[in-house]
Amino acid sequence: MGDLDEQTGWGFETRAIHVGQEPDPTTGAVVTPISLSTTFAQSSVGEHKGFEYSRSGNPTRSALEACVASLENAKHGLAFASGLAAEDNVLRLLPPGGRVLLGNDAYGGTFRLIAKVWSPLGFPWSAVDLTDVASLRANWPSDTTIVWLETPTNPLLTCIDIAAVAEVAHANGAIVVVDNTFATPYLQQPLDHGADIVVHSATKYLGGHSDVVGGFLALNDDSLAERLRYTQNAAGGVPAPFDCYLVLRGVKTLALRMERHCSNARAVVDLLLGHPAVDRVLYPQLPDHPGHAAAAKQMNDFGGMVSFTLKGGVDAALTVAKSTRIFTLAESLGAVESLIEHPGRMTHASAAGSPLQVPDSLVRLSVGVESAHDLCEDLRAALDRLS
């Protein structure tokens, strides 16, 4: 990755290890300390060293916020207790009656938050096919204030042209929120393509080791950032200092891990494409994949997530999901170990009966960083059980 940061002059990998993480001025500690203090001494009322109370601001959290903001080419970064806490903080920007347009494929929990929690409070939502920008422009609901998209989407891995959607949204006075969890800032920096706010489930690739739940927002706009920071403190969905430390530790190796996730995913895709039990392989690098052109334009590589459908339908999908040995049957994604799941019955069960319902013959893989050979053999053995 050649892109240099304007502020530091450093490349991505250097920023991941050093931004916000200067050696501790008191002790020289090279690793950012975990600051557990909930409160901070004031020399006189209102005079302090930048921290007052740990919900409002914490040194370990500040380090994480500076680092991931830099990776997203963002001026502002805000860390949260989970991806959904970060999303909820964004939805608090909605004006009374403001509509959310949600892409028609997205994480089930995001759908649930928008459609089942916020919508009944008087904030309408609609599901839209964001690959069809002409239709988005022609059918724009006038009460829309937020367009919410994932690219690649969870779990179908459809890719959306961020710049094209941002152009329509901005012309209509709406903001664009991009969930960059699947791509990570190593592969895609949505703010550079016109997004207004980037959302992350830091639980996934940023943390990278399945040992921390976290969320993140990155953005450039000062007034939006001020509002989001106000709500971060007022509503209080902040992460613990230890969690911030774990995400910061994970981010240091993000570039290395993503390289391996991508190359292992390619090996898995080749295996799946050649197996007779597989119906369709979903991976953004494939030329016939929905949004391949958008992915090729805005991503540096195609990521570590692979989904596929089985000719044998739901029964075959459930059999494969329980038959692997290295791929662990579990929700979540983006960590060093490979995971397999059945979105229809697991991560996306809440979307059943909605426009975001997923096919029941679908299996989703989070391809980890183990040996590509072992991963392919594991999958081959599970698929062979179907014949």
Among this protein's residues, is 322 annotated catalytic? no
Q: Which is nearer to ligand P1T, 203 or 324 (CB)?
A: 203
Structure tokens at 131: 């690959």
Q: How far is the CB of 25 from ligand P1T (least distance, A)?
A: 32
Q: Which is nearer to ligand P1T, 98 or 109 (CB)?
A: 109
Q: How far is the CB of 351 from ligand P1T (least distance, A)?
A: 11
Specify whether the CB–CB gap between 301 and 331 falls below 8 A: no
- What SS3 class is residue 374? helix
Distance, C-alpha 39 to centroid of its chain = 31
Specify whether the CB–CB gap between 189 and 178 falls below 8 A: no
CA distances in angstroms from 252 to 8, 66, 186, 242, 248, listed in the order given? 17, 13, 12, 16, 7
Closest to 276 (Cα-Cα) out of 312, 306, 245, 252 = 312
Among this protein's residues, is 75 annotated catalytic? no
Q: How far is the CB of 354 from ligand P1T (least distance, A)?
A: 16
Structure tokens at 179: 């969930």
Report the distance separating Cα 375 and Cα 387, nearest Å.
20
Q: Which is nearer to ligand P1T, 224 or 346 (CB)?
A: 346
Pick the catalytic residue from 15, 61, 107, 266.
Answer: 107
Q: Which is nearer to ligand P1T, 51 or 182 (CB)?
A: 182
Among this protein's residues, is 112 annotated catalytic? no
Residue showing the smallest CB distance to ligand P1T in the complex? 83
Q: What is the DSSP string of 237-250?
A: -PPPHHHHHHHHHH
Pick the catalytic residue from 88, 105, 161, 179.
Answer: 179
Q: How far is the CB of 108 from ligand P1T (least distance, A)?
A: 7
The residues facing 322 across adjacent strands are none
The residues facing 226 across adjacent strands are none
Q: How far is the CB of 201 from ligand P1T (least distance, A)?
A: 3
- What SS3 class is residue 305? strand
At CA 132, angle to CA 127 and CA 138, rounded to 5?
Answer: 85
Structure tokens at 105: 């494929």
Cis peptide before 33 (omega within 30 of 0): no
Q: How far is the CB of 203 from ligand P1T (least distance, A)?
A: 4
Q: How far is the CB of 204 from ligand P1T (least distance, A)?
A: 6
Pick the catalytic residue from 61, 99, 204, 364.
Answer: 204
Report the distance separating Cα 327 and Cα 370, nearest Å.
10
Pick the catalytic residue from 5, 55, 249, 297.
Answer: 55
Q: Which is nearer to ligand P1T, 200 or 275 (CB)?
A: 200
Q: Which is nearer to ligand P1T, 100 or 386 (CB)?
A: 100
Residue 108 CB-half CA count within 13 A: 18
Q: Which is nearer to ligand P1T, 51 or 186 (CB)?
A: 186
Rule CB under 6 A: which residues touch ligand P1T? 82-84, 107, 109-110, 150, 154, 179, 181, 201, 203, 213, 215, 331-333, 347
Structure tokens at 30: 């090279």
Among this protein's residues, is 204 annotated catalytic? yes
Q: Which residues are catalytic?
A: 55, 107, 179, 204
